Structures are given as structure tokens and as C-alpha cells.
Amino acid sequence: MMEASIAQSRMLRGRTIIMMTVDKNLISMEKVADSGQCFRMSVINGGIELFAYGRRLFISRNDEGDYALDCPQGDFDGVWKDYFDLDGDYAAYENSVPAEDEFMLAAVSYGKGIRILRQEPWEMLISFIISQRKNIPAIRSCIAKLCERFGEKIEGGYAFPTPASLARLDEAALAECSLGYRTGYILSAARMVDSGDLDLDSLYSVDYADMLARLMAVPGVGPKVARCVMLFGYHRLEAFPRDVWINRVVDTHYAGNFPEQLYPGFAGVMQQYAFYYARSFKI
């Protein structure tokens, strides 16, 4: 049984810094950063920088190759452990692939170490409204502009903008973030959430169909974007978003119909392996 995390301390400029280590076999931070489910996690000068929940997290590797998270144990226990879904049993997901499904076997093998993050629903809602008809680098660029212009300044960068901070803008101000025709969608979503018309916190406790309907009531949110919010924000692992890459996979290898029923309650995890594999090899 590998350890999920161990607290370590080291000295830096005369101060004691607490680092949390995460077993390298438990998760691949590099694959997660490149998996298309998050847009504010990037590999930079010898480590990985991540912004979420109003914080910046820097991740490096120690001599054993395990991950060192530059955060106190309280943040790890209260935020990052669940954020990275370190308690999830991904071996069970991977082992559920039928022996005859060569595509999913290859996808699971290639993507080993990917996990479905628990991100903030509000950030997922805005991020995936932006995502429509954009490639991932362009999505990241738009979100970076949003954060720099309208997010709160925090140490090392900017937080994701709050609903209130976007709701009070006009379209001209938002349009500077290269949102194109999505500008009105973003503004509507921000005002719905800020006014309380859409209570994102209350959605944690509603069932699949209700959550899907409530999210799709937002202008610019259709079946695909709603399922991305459900999967990456609310951790509804049964949600199976179909984008252009997944549609190509499903058409090519599954005659237009992916066998979601083989993965009860976690088809979305398999979707993520398939997406990462397909996009990496441009299948």
C-alpha cells in the first residue's frame, strides 16, 4: 500500500517550509496538466504551477521522483487531497476494460496516472462555455486574460474572477479577452450566478437529470458543456461529454455508439482516457 502523502519539512531562507509529498505512482501531474480538463495548470521551469480555489500551488519532484507540493498540511488535507482525487480507485476503473477492447486498453495504458479533478463548478462553467469551438491553447489564453484583468491579485498570480466581478462588466470590457460570440454567454452566466438565480452550491445534492437541466438552462451551455461541468466540477463520474475528438473515436472504433453501460457510474473516467489518447496521437 503506497502512501498518499507524507509531510516533510525543509529549511528555506531561515524558515521551516512544510512540503507534502505524493507518490509518483498515484498520479501523473504532467498528464493531468495536459489532459484538457483544467486550463490553469502548466509545466514551468522544473515543476508544475497550478491555480485553483483562490490559491497558487507549485509542485516539484524530489530525488525519488515523487511529487513535492509546496503547501502546508492543512491545505493538503482541506483542498488538494480531494482536488486531485487521491482517494479514487483508478486501478479498478482501468481493470474494468474488456480484454477484447484494444482501443480502450491502449488508452488506459497510455493515460495511466490521469485523475478526474474536483474543480470549482463556477470556474468549470465559465471555462467550458469558453471552450466551444476553440482549441486548448486558445482556451488557456482566454482564461489567463480573464484572470489577469478581472481576478483578484494573489501571491504569484491571479485568482479566477468571482461571479460578481464578471457580472458588473459590460460586453466591451469582456470582449478584450478574445471571447468572440461567447461574450454574451459569459455575461449571462455570471449574472445568473451572482443574482442567485442559479445556485451552483445547491446543485451538489441534486440528481443527474436535474443537474443537467439546470446547467443547460444557461445560455451557451448545451449537452457537452454541461457534462464537462458535471464531470470536472461536480465529480459526477458518470457524465460522458462528447466533443469532436470523442466523436471521432466513437465513430472509428465503436460504430458510433460507445458502450457506457460497461462502466456503470464512471463512464466519464473512461471518456477522459479516450480523449487524452486520441488527442495525443491526433486519431
Counting contacts by CB under 7 A, is residue 178 touching DNA?
yes
Counting contacts by CB under 7 A, is residue 225 touching DNA?
yes
Counting contacts by CB under 7 A, is residue 188 touching DNA?
no
Counting contacts by CB under 7 A, is residue 154 touching DNA?
no
Q: Count of CB atoms within 10 A of residue 4's CB? A: 16
Least distance from DNA to the Cβ atom of residue 203, Å: 16
Q: What is the Cα–Cα distance from 152 to 174, expressed in whole angstroms?
A: 16
Q: What is the Cα–Cα distance from 194 to 190, expressed in whole angstroms?
A: 6
Pick from 198, 221, 230, 269 the residue near DNA by CB under 7 A.
221
Question: Shortest CA distance to 239 belongs to which of 271, 277, 199, 203?
Answer: 271
Please identify, among the stretches 1-9, 29-37, 87-95, 117-125, the one whose residues bind DNA according to the rule CB under 7 A. Answer: 29-37
Counting contacts by CB under 7 A, is residue 134 touching DNA?
yes
Q: What is the Cα–Cα distance from 275 to 283, expressed in whole angstroms?
A: 10
DSSP per residue, 99-143: TT-HHHHHHHHHTTT-------HHHHHHHHHHHTT--HHHHHHHH
Pick from 42, 60, 73, 132 the residue near DNA by CB under 7 A.
132
Counting contacts by CB under 7 A, is residue 6 touching DNA?
no
Instruction: Considering only residues 247 through 276, tell me which ones interact with DNA, judged by CB under 7 A.
Output: 271-272, 275
Contact residues for DNA (CB under 7 A)? 35-37, 128, 131-139, 141, 175, 178-181, 216, 219-226, 228, 241-246, 271-272, 275, 279
